[in-house]
Structure 1
Amino acid sequence: QIPLTNLDVIELPGAFLQFQRVLAPPVRAGQPTDQISLDSQPLAIGRGDPHGTVDTARVDLDPEEIAISRVHAMVERDGDNYFLSDRSRLGTELNGVAFTRERLVFGDRMRISGYIFEFTGDALRLIHLESSGTVSAENLTVIANDRRILDQVSLNIAAGEFVGVLGGSGHGKTTLLNALCGINPPTSGEVRLGGVPLADRARLREIGIGYVPQDDIVHRELTVNEAITFSAKLRLRLPPHQIDALVSRITTRLGLAPHAHQRVADLSGGQRKRVSIAIELLAKPSILFLDEPSSGLDPANEEALMTLL
């Protein structure tokens, strides 16, 4: 016998099973919550007391999850910024990396055991990964000019999967992509993104859907930093210092920091594609659609872009 831990994957002939322990919801001041507001007071996050607490200065997680320390992490405000400190025995991850103390930037994700929290600028929001990044389609049909382009297409994509659609020119790849993300809804059939029907636009905005078209739609006369910053100001309701921190984080992550003050027009094709991707990543979408992202790139740049994605 082998003890199972949360998110262990079991391989069977022809199938994979994932073990997931259902954790108790976070509790603050005795009340379950998915949204943890932040203020000037330090906030402790950790394993809860089985008998319960009503302390507003801490968030209690599942009291039976022994991988969580009693005080696992602390969130503290310093000026206009919030800082996250790891106080645990087994470690905490921020954006998939262990840390000691880091400034929080919009969209940062913290993992404590099976819990994932996303920083929204003034709160921590619990992320339900089992559904937030899924794509499902059933019997999609698209008819245009009396021509059946898609015929009863069904698919299921799990959260965290990286899926490519292959096919010759004119075989319906872009039509399928546009039907899945809602740009051109299908003639018939159903699409659900993160478990939400495509018609429910309000809830889809909460999930976050990103789309990078084949042709770059970036103002070429702007510098890289200007293009990304202006898009952030249009899309996000964040104070200037948080926008600056977010733009800096994204340009560094996509390898654009050395080109931050270059005009988009002076970049290579691969670099311009990265700018388009950076703009879509600003809002931290749970699902990202890309239409032929490697089109026009040489093999070296294509490999680098695929590795990045």
Structure 2
Amino acid sequence: MHPANQASVEAPPLPEVDLNLWQVHLGRHPMQKRSGELDLELNHPTVSREHATIFKRAGHYFLRDHDSANGSHVDGQRVQGEVELRPGALIRIGPYRFRLDGSILRIFTPQQMRLDGIDLVKQIFKSSARTTLLHPTSISVQSGDFIALLGCSGSGKTTLLNALCGYAPATGGQLLLNGEAVDRQLDLFRTSIGYVPQDDIVHTELTVEQVLAYAAELRLPQGMLPHERRRLIDDVLDKLHMTLHQHKLVSNLSGGQRKRVSVAVELLTKPSFLFLDEPTSGLDPGMEEEFMELLGRMRNRQSIGVVLVTHRLDYVAEQCNYVAMLSHGYLTFFGPMAEAIPFYSTALPTAKLQPISEVAAEKQYPKIYQALEASTPIESKAVAGEYHRSTYYERFLKHRVRNAAQRIAPQQNKTRPVSQAPFFSQWLTLTRRYASTMFNRHKRLTLAANLLLPIALGLLVLLASLSDRGGSIFTTRAENPAFPTKVVGDYTNAQILLLALTLLALFLGSFNAISEVVKEKAIYKRERMLFLQVGPYILSKLAVLSAFSVLQMLLLAAVVLPLASLPAQGVWLPTWLELTVTLMLTTIASVALGLAASAALKEQEQMPIVLVVLIIPQLLLSKALNPQLPNAISWLNNLTISRWGLEAMANSTNLNQIDDNPFFAKPLYHALDAADLGLNWLVLIAATVLLTVAAIIIQQRKDQR
């Protein structure tokens, strides 16, 4: 705490301030104002640079929040703007606590955090059948704990882990943070939790430094200066011994190093709890031991509560102070690993355990696994009941759960998490990150192949549509006296060329986008828990993919159009330019279509069949392929992107006026019609907007499920 200037009143020592004498500015680097004002520095990354001010006005005390990223909370409610402080008001800013007693603001050091699950239940419903994955389970995690969730496959350990960290919330019970329901303090909860799933949730196309830099921009308060973020990144890299690897691609790291990158991303916000789902899976024994030792050092130095799912009992015995053993969704034991032997020796006779004095504990742990795996749900329920009636439950869990239940605060309105970054700022960062993953120098061969693809396909289309009358598809206007407005050319091949160009624009745009949301579902879900807004996320992909698809269309047009002997003038512009604009609008609409489909997919393996479903109907409903569609389905043609793209190009090239047009008497398309061309372009733009909105809505509804 620092006095703003040399005031007549001496700055008070912590832990209290008299608000009759001082106005208090709170923040990571609060601005000093004038005499009678104090700056209280709250050094935590979840606190904004200038977070809030507490002051007296007309005999009353107020708190003003300065649009902070993670909010100021008074009596459990997030402050919007300014709020009056009642006597005894409890104030929370990040991990810091304050209480107003009369005119005295009492200041508490960051408290030891605790996370309690009370009677957590997880049920799923499939075909009207209900399956219980986790039966009522109570467990408590405190700062400095190192807890291993153990059990055979399907025992419920990952379900419990995900319920505790909020990744897949429980369907019943209560989740409390410091004795208060999590759904009433989502802002604090999301910054208190670090989560590392079994699969790495970082972009492997980026370097370690890029991964952390983009994560810092997105997760940390907007007011944090670049050098402050850089200092945090360097500190995390140093703690995880990754400084020497920061310029390497994540894809080029070893399994253990990639896991450290995932942990580093989570440590940027200095979480109070770190949850890991089988973090050593796929690592060799040496890396496993090194990684577990790293977690132990983090727990000891930073007082982080660590909870992990693992099968490595030898490391658990060395590093963990508590284990939770699950079987068939029941918690059958919670306590120190060494205490599991005497408990299961009586509660689970089938394990055939012996006293530790006769047989070393580490040699008997596998027997517990084997016995629990062989047990039936009824037997597991009986063992769980035996534990809850035992002295082990009294000693290691009951007092934790009882204290948590007693501290449950009265019901208040739920609060919704507020995004860290404004909409545009988040979109800009996501766009830069996505562009970095697509266009980094290590993907030059892939990029070259994707840019050569439209050139190769364009040449193939051009060859397939060459006229058998000397190779001319279009020419300039003919001198036929009977039809002075007609164009000499080959109607059939000209129509094939325009249809093929339309379908290429449709295919390439959809193909580029269709995997881009579903392939990132793990990364998306983790970031969505913290700060991510769906709108900026989808729009960032639309921007980058549209730019890339437009580049493909420019290459396609540059190869095909000069060789097609087009008429010189279109409706408004040179014909080649109007066709290029139409190709660009068509492919951008197709990108939006691909993103909407990708948002709807559950698994990436579904992509090929969905891509076929998107493309083939647009071909079958095309006028070029089926000029006389039945009335019952002709209206469907209006819903396709290809219809508007093809008609725009037919209009620009005056396709109806080619002299061998079999539909001259009843033309299929408009000819050099400005209103029709404008309508076609407008519909393509509207389709892009509507499909983008659809992608956002689909993704939001998927989040709710």
Is the CA contact (8 Å cut-off) linking 1:221 and 1:265 kept in structure 2? yes
Cα distance, 1:259 vs structure 2: 0.3
Q: How does 1:53-72 map to 2 (within 5 A)?
A: 56=37
Residue 17 of structure 2 corresponds to: 27
Is the CA contact (8 Å cut-off) linking 2:23 and 2:36 kept in structure 1? no
Distance change >3 Å, CA 34–CA 239, structure 1 → 2? closer
SS at match of 1:163: strand
- Larger Rg over CA atoms: 2
| TM-score, scaled relative to structure 2 | 0.29
* Structure having the larger proportion of residues in strand: 1
From 172, 175, 179, give the equivalent of 2:163: 179
Q: Structure 2 CA distance, aligned partners of 1:125 and 1:302?
A: 34
Letter in 2 for 1:226: Q
Residue 614 of structure 2 corresponds to: none
User: Runs of 5+ in structure 2 lacking a partner?
Assistant: 1-13, 52-92, 98-108, 296-705
Letter in 2 for 1:139: D
Q: Structure 2 CA distance, aligned partners of 1:235 and 1:122?
A: 17
Q: Structure 2 CA distance, aligned partners of 1:26 and 1:292?
A: 45
From 257, 262, 272, give the equivalent of 1:271: 257
Q: Structure 2 CA distance, aligned partners of 1:34 and 1:182?
A: 33
Is the CA contact (8 Å cut-off) linking 2:44 and 2:94 kept in structure 1? no
Cα distance, 1:221 vs structure 2: 1.4
Is the CA contact (8 Å cut-off) linking 2:25 and 2:39 kept in structure 1? no
User: Runs of 5+ in structure 1 lacking a partner?
Assistant: 1-23, 42-53, 60-74, 76-103, 108-117
Q: How does 1:119-198 map to 2 (within 5 A)?
A: 121=49, 127=96, 133-145=113-125, 146-198=130-182
Q: Structure 1 CA distance, aligned partners of 2:144 and 2:217?
A: 28
Letter in 1 for 2:96: I
RMSD: 3.3
Residue 350 of structure 2 corresponds to: none
Identity of aligned residues (%): 40
Is the CA contact (8 Å cut-off) linking 1:36 and 1:125 kept in structure 2? no
SS at match of 2:150: coil
Residue 286 of structure 2 corresponds to: 300
SS at match of 1:276: helix
Cα distance, 1:120 vs structure 2: 5.4
Distance change >3 Å, CA 161–CA 31, structure 1 → 2? farther
Is the CA contact (8 Å cut-off) linking 1:35 and 1:125 kept in structure 2? no
Cα distance, 1:55 vs structure 2: 6.2
Is the CA contact (8 Å cut-off) linking 2:116 and 2:141 kept in structure 1? yes
Distance change >3 Å, CA 133–CA 258, structure 1 → 2? same
Letter in 2 for 1:148: T
Q: Structure 2 CA distance, aligned partners of 1:182 and 1:304?
A: 28
Q: Structure 1 CA distance, aligned partners of 2:23 and 2:172?
A: 40
| TM-score, scaled relative to structure 1 | 0.62
Q: Structure 2 CA distance, aligned partners of 1:173 and 1:31?
A: 51
Q: Structure 2 CA distance, aligned partners of 1:144 and 1:119?
A: 38
Letter in 1 for 2:17: V
Q: Structure 1 CA distance, aligned partners of 2:24 and 2:190?
A: 17
Is the CA contact (8 Å cut-off) linking 1:105 and 1:246 kept in structure 2? no
Q: How does 1:185-224 map to 2 (within 5 A)?
A: 185-205=169-189, 208-224=192-208
Cα distance, 1:205 vs structure 2: 4.5
